[in-house]
């Protein structure tokens, strides 16, 4: 699958076996929900490991037979970090 690396300004080919799919859902200001579909991968570009994201259509998202990545709830602080943020 082809990604575009913004930092190095070049296209990067990543095998489909190294790609994870994910979806981003948000509530718009008028109250409806919007879902965007994407694929994510990590690759080495010029000896630097970069995270790549490519937004795709729902049809392509459903067609892909790769692992679906579940993202944490936005704004949620993991419990182990929350404990370290407590005041003494």
Give me the helices (H) in the chain, please. 58-63, 79-84
Residue 87 · residue 39 · CB < 8 Å: no
Residue 46's alpha-carbon distances to 2, 7, 12, 13, in angstroms, are 16, 11, 11, 13
35/58 Cα distance (integer angstroms): 9
Q: In this predicted model, what pLDDT tens digit does every residue of 29-82 receive, in sequence order?
A: 888 889 999 999 999 999 999 999 999 999 999 999 998 887 665 555 555 554
β-bridge pairing 48-56 and 33-45? antiparallel
- pTM > 0.85: yes or no: no
Quote the domain boundaries for residue 40: 2-84
User: Given this model, what pLDDT does residue 71 score?
Assistant: 66
How many domains are contained in the chain?
A: 1
């Amino acid at each position: 699958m082809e990604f575009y690396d913004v930092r190095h300004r070049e296209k990067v080919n990543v095998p489909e076996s190294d790609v994870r799919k994910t979806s981003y859902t948000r509530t718009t200001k008028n109250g409806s929900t919007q879902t965007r579909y994407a694929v994510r991968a990590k690759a080495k570009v010029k000896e630097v490991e970069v995270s790549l994201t490519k937004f795709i259509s729902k049809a392509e998202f459903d067609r892909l037979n790769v692992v679906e990545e579940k993202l944490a709830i936005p704004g949620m602080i993991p419990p182990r970090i929350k404990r370290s943020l407590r005041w003494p």
